[in-house]
Amino acid sequence: MRLVVGETARSGEAVDATDLTVAPAALARAAAGEAVDGVCLDCPEPGPLHDRVGVVREGADPPLRGALAAAARSLGERAPERARLERVRARLADEEQPDLGLAAARRRAAAAGEEEVRLRERVATLRGRVDALEDAGATEARREAETALAETTRRLTEAETERIAAEQRLDGLERRARELRDRREERLALEDRAANLARAARAHLAETVYDRFRAAVAALPGDGDAGAAPGDYEGDPTLAALAVVRVAAPEAPVVVATDRLGGAARTADRLDAPVVRVAPDAEGR
Amino acid sequence: MLLVVTYSRAARATLRNVCSAHETTVVRRFGRAALLRETEFGAFLACRLREKHGTDVQVEQTTPLNEYETVPDRVRHAAAAYEDRESASTPYTAFANGRDHPDPAAMRDEEL
């Protein structure tokens, strides 16, 4: 790998960045190929392992089973659930999700209804005024009121037509949405199936490297007990994360923000992985 | 009440969080669905779900069914008579046949 921070360039499988102003997360982003101001890290593409333990710092507690599964994958282990999981995921990707515009249809139906109510009240008011003016014998004013009444009645008829059309459109869309929900229901079942398979695959993969993980925990400094099976680990979470890295075979560098294994070279050696060492309290870009 | 039904894992997870955070507004929870109190706050929660997950969230406004008001007598009587039948294994279609009860197909086509 080759790391450039500002004017400083360093390369090798163990890069010391403890004297540079660069935050661990910025290094991880740069490794993933994201543009980070003033930081360039040229290295192989990070894998699933890096999502879990791409940055190791004191106190961080990544979910161990997922990290172990990623470590197993980096070693070329494959879960028996893999083919089924891929099929389920392919079926999920096939499903399109049409947008019916239901929200807009609801809004239109509500607005049309309000307009109708408003005009209906206006017609009643005008009718009352026409009657009152007739009783009072005010012919001219009554004629004006009658004209307004006729105009408002016409608009009311239009508003009724519009409201009915909007309601029918909404009814139609809701029927269609109900049909689509049958498909969504199947989709949800598929999503659950994919999640169950992924969980089973993770459990299987974690199991395959657990003996190696236990040995790594014993070989590294810190207090932790791996127990018999994934899920049994008790103790220092940083030790667990470091042990996962030691088990795995990552191609892209792991950012190590703890000095418990020593400097860059010593850390890379003990983890048997490419490493960028940063200061525990590193901040910056 | 407001019936909220979710149709994706993400929407279901949000509903679950909403329900745990606002227990007093939740009347009943059923896995990926819930009945919310018909208050402004219940509507607020339903609108939030709709806003976030679109058509993956179905919201219905429910009312209790008063069968003496909404359901025709012949339907209600048929239900009562069928539940009072002598042989538990008789299907409704056979039971209605020959008696003066509505047939299922006709009931299916008739909106309440």
Contacts of A96 in chain B (CB under 8 A): none
Q: How confident is the model at residue A284 (pLDDT cuts 50, 70, 90)?
A: low
Check whether A276 has a pLDDT greater than 70. yes
Separation CA A156–CA A112 (nearest Å): 11
Over pLDDT 70: what percentage of chain B? 100
In the predicted model, what is the mean pLDDT of chain B?
Answer: 93
pLDDT of residue A125: 94
Beta-strand pair A275-277/A254-257: parallel
Interface test with B, best of A176, A180, A184, A192 (most B CBs within 10 A): A184
In the predicted model, what is the mean pLDDT of chain A?
Answer: 91
Partner-chain contact B58 A181, CB within 8 Å? yes
Residue A163 · residue A116 · CB < 8 Å: yes
Q: How many CB atoms lie within 10 A of CB A222?
A: 16
pLDDT of residue A281: 78
pLDDT of residue A70: 95
Residue A248 · residue A208 · CB < 8 Å: no
Could you tell me the two tokens for B99?
């008696």
Write down the H helix ranges in B22-112: 40-53, 67-70, 73-83, 92-96, 104-109
Predicted complex: ipTM over 0.95: no
Q: How far is B6 from chain A (nearest CA, A)?
A: 9
pLDDT of residue A35: 82
Contacts of B50 in chain A (CB under 8 A): 103
pLDDT of residue A68: 96
pLDDT of residue B28: 95
Contacts of A99 in chain B (CB under 8 A): 54-55
Residue A9 phi, psi (nearest 5):
-120, 135
pLDDT tens digits along A208-249: 999 999 999 999 999 999 999 998 999 999 999 999 999 999
Could you please report the per-residue DSSP string of A188-250? Answer: HHHHHHHHHHHHHHHHHHHHHTHHHHHHHHHHSSS-EE--SSTT--EE-HHHHHHHHHHHS--
Q: How far is B80 from chain A (nearest CA, A)?
A: 31
Residue A114, CA distances (Å) to A109, A156, B1 in order: 9, 11, 23
Residue A1 · residue A28 · CB < 8 Å: no
- The tally of CA atoms less than 13 A away on the side-chain side of residue B109 is 4
Q: Provide the edge-to-edge strand list for the sheet that holds A14-16.
A: A14-16, A275-277, A254-257, A55-57
Contact of A99 with chain B, judged by CB distance below 8 Å, is answered with yes
Check whether B83 has a pLDDT greater than 80. yes
Q: How far is A206 from chain B (nearest CA, A)?
A: 25
pLDDT of residue A137: 83
Q: How far is B23 from chain A (nearest CA, A)?
A: 25
Check whether B88 has a pLDDT greater than 70. yes
pLDDT tens digits along A129-185: 999 998 888 888 889 999 999 999 999 999 999 999 999 999 999 888 888 888 888
Mean pLDDT value of segment A49-78? 93
Beta-strand pair A275-277/B57-61: unpaired
Separation CA A273–CA A252 (nearest Å): 8
Residue A265, CA distances (Å) to A44, A240, A254 in order: 19, 20, 13
pLDDT of residue B75: 95
Cα of B105 vs its chain's centroid, Å: 21
pLDDT of residue A254: 96
Contact of A181 with chain B, judged by CB distance below 8 Å, is answered with yes
Contacts of A100 in chain B (CB under 8 A): 55
